[in-house]
Copies of this chain bind each other. A is one copy, B any other.
Amino acid sequence: MAARQLSVVSVGAHQDDELGCLGTLIRYHQQGWRITTVSVSNGDKGGQHDPSIPHAVIAQTRIEEATRVAGELDGRYFCLGQEDGFVFDSREVRLALAGILRSVEADVVITLPPADYNNDHVMAGQIALHASLLAAVNVIDTDAPPLPRAPFVLHMDTIVGLDFQPTHYVDISDQFAEKARLLRLHDSQMRSQPNITGWDLVTHAEVVGRFRGQQCGVHYAEGFRPVLRTPLLRPGWMLPQ
A residues whose Cβ falls under 8 Å from a Cβ of B = 45-48, 51, 55, 58, 83, 85-86, 88-89, 91, 94, 115-119, 126, 129-130, 133-134, 136-140, 149, 159-163, 165, 167-171, 195-199, 203-204, 207-208, 210-211, 214-218, 221, 225-226, 228-237, 239, 241
Q: How far is the CA of A48 from the CA of B149 in the complex (A)?
A: 13
Are the CB atoms of B234 and A217 closer together than 8 Å? yes
The minimal Cβ–Cβ distance linking A114 to chain B, given in whole angstroms, is 10
Q: Which residues of B contact A218 (CB under 8 A)?
A: 235
13 A-B interface contacts by CB (under 8 A): A45-B139, A58-B139, A85-B134, A117-B230, A118-B229, A162-B228, A203-B214, A207-B214, A210-B210, A210-B211, A217-B234, A218-B235, A236-B241
Question: In the complex, what residue of chain B is closest to A98 when comparing beta carbons?
Answer: B85
Are the CB atoms of A119 and B126 closer together than 8 Å? yes
Are the CB atoms of B229 and A237 closer together than 8 Å? no
Are the CB atoms of A214 and B163 closer together than 8 Å? no
Question: In the complex, what residue of chain B is closest to A133 when comparing beta carbons?
Answer: B118
The minimal Cβ–Cβ distance linking A119 to chain B, given in whole angstroms, is 4
Tell whether A163 pairs with B165 under 8 Å between CB atoms, given A117-B229, A235-B171.
Answer: yes
Q: Which residues of B contact A214 (CB under 8 A)?
A: 160, 197-199, 203-204, 207-208, 230
Are the CB atoms of B55 and A228 closer together than 8 Å? no
Are the CB atoms of A129 and B140 closer together than 8 Å? no
Q: Which residues of B contact A46 (CB under 8 A)?
A: 139
Tell whether A159 pairs with B216 under 8 Å between CB atoms, given A140-B45, A221-B235, A235-B169.
Answer: no
The minimal Cβ–Cβ distance linking A126 to chain B, given in whole angstroms, is 7
